[in-house]
Amino acid sequence: GEVACICNSCYGGQDCSVFTPNCAADADDGNPLFLEPYWMNHAATTAVVVSGWNRMGYAYEDDSNISKELEKIIRQLHAVVGNANTSGKYILFGAGSTQLLNAAIIGLSPPHPDRDHSFSPASVVASAPFYQVYKQQTDIYNSLNFKWQGDTSTWKNKSDQVGNFIEFVTSPNNPDGQLKEPILKGPYVKTIYDYAYYWPHFTAIPTPADSDLMIFAMSKLTGHAGSRFGWAFVKDEAVYKRMSSYLSINSIGASQDAQLRAFVVLRMVVKDKAKGLFEFGYKTMRERWEMLNKTLSKSKRFSLQKLEPRYCSFFKEVTAYAWLKCEREEDHDCYAVLRAARIISRKGSVFSAEDRYARLSLIKNQDDFDLLLDRIDELVSQEEQPG
């Protein structure tokens, strides 16, 4: 047929069926290809064809107004899923959540005098283990208005003494899948909620999120990470305006093509009453998490994070990433232990945690996961043989 296969790195040949025996199982990146089969099943209805002359202008000037229709679909989606209360909140589009994370920091840290009347930068913090891009982005701007100040726990109980704070809260968290709450509170603390994984295939949804600044994206929701499309809900008008101004200075707004793709794909998700995609996604994640747990249950050398059951007993907890701990005293570099067994993970220190931990991505395609599981099984069975 018309479908061109991109082979998993361990496979080759015309139909990706030729296995490369000693190839490493790559569980490093969070490329969410586990949802590809769902979209293959909806190939015709979600095809996007755009003629060369079509939709050439900047999206903000387009009369056909894809943005308004897209906004409607996004608000409907949250209502159907029940993961966010979007009423009374402004919406902004960005190139993935990545662009919006930074827009949020800029929106929340206007140059203004502190309570002690000086102009010190707002402290940007997150709780370890956290997604490394928060720190990387904050550092690269080297701004006078905001500054990376590390792990939130360092500032707990001190946050009422030392200037303004911006705390990132990632829930469920990357890398460990925990539902998180802000650590810092008070009038001088602003919170950015990164809800990239707050969807039913990654977590139970105890309540609709209803915070002042919430960021969502297509990447982990539908798997269309390559479209680079995300959105933010913002309660405060002044913050919204600053973010909006940043986005137009940074990129003249979101891509017309990305918006069209998002519209077509999200319309399908809503039309399926949010069931089709999430049922498939959840089933896949649950199978993977259960198989991994089963394989590692025999191990004394490796352990997995515990996911607390939240509210509804029929929902078995799942996670996008395994947060593996190497238990043996000598295994202080868990990444190296796994690498020697031909498994590529992501080091704990990337998330500002100990290297005794490593992250394994469970959201790649089925071949990736199957190979990962084989390799872990091999590792665990070596434990059982004495000597």
- How far is 22 from 234, CA to CA, in rounded Å? 49
CB of 130 to ligand PMP, least distance (A): 8
Complex with ligand PMP: residue 164 or 222, whichever CB lies closer: 222
Burial of residue 15 (number of CB atoms within 10 Å: 0-12, 13-18, 19+): exposed
Tell whether residue 30 is a contact of ligand PMP (CB under 6 A): yes
Taking CB under 6 A as the criterion, the residue among 209, 225, 343, 376 binding ligand PMP is: 225
Q: Is 174 in the site for ligand PMP (CB under 6 A)?
A: yes
String of contacts with ligand PMP for each residue 69-108, x by CB under 6 A: ---------------------------xxx----------
* Nearest CB to ligand PMP, comparing residues 136 and 207: 136
- Verify binding: residue 172, ligand PMP, rule CB under 6 A: no
Among 34, 38, 131, 246, binds ligand PMP (CB under 6 A): 131
Q: Binding ligand PMP by CB under 6 A: which of 66, 81, 189, 196?
A: 196
Nearest distance from C-beta of residue 22 to ligand PMP, angstroms: 29
Decide if residue 219 touches ligand PMP (CB under 6 A).
yes
Q: Which residue is nearest to ligand PMP (CB)?
A: 96
Contact between 222 and ligand PMP by CB under 6 A: the answer reads no
Contact, 180 vs 364, CB < 8 A? no
278 part of the interface to ligand PMP, by CB under 6 A: no
Distance CA 259, CA 68 (A): 10
CB of 243 to ligand PMP, least distance (A): 16
CA-to-CA separations, 31 to 34, 140, 243, in angstroms, rounded: 8, 24, 27
> 13 or 226, CB closer to ligand PMP?
226
> Smallest gap, in angstroms, from Cβ of residue 286 to ligand PMP?
20
Choose between 121 and 129: whose C-beta lies nearer to ligand PMP.
129
Residue 113 preceded by cis peptide, ω within 30: no
Tokens of 19: 């296995």
Least gap, CB of 242 to ligand PMP (angstroms)? 20
- Closest to ligand PMP by CB, 174 vs 256, is 174
Q: In this complex, which beta carbon is closest to ligand PMP, that of residue 70 or of residue 217?
A: 217
- Contact between 26 and ligand PMP (CB under 6 A)? no
* Site size toward ligand PMP, by CB under 6 A: 13
Task: Examine residue 217 and tell whether it contacts ligand PMP (CB under 6 A).
Answer: yes
* Closer by beta carbon to ligand PMP, 46 or else 219: 219
| In the complex, minimum distance from the CB of residue 267 to ligand PMP, in angstroms, rounded to a whole number | 19
| Nearer to ligand PMP among residue 107 and residue 295 (C-beta) | 107
Q: Tell me how far apart the terminal alpha carbons of the chain are, to the nearest angstrom.
A: 52
Distance in Å, CB of 362 to ligand PMP, minimum: 13
Can residue 268 be called a binding residue for ligand PMP (CB under 6 A)? no
Q: Which residues bind ligand PMP (CB under 6 A)?
A: 30, 96-98, 131, 170, 174, 194, 196, 217, 219, 225, 230
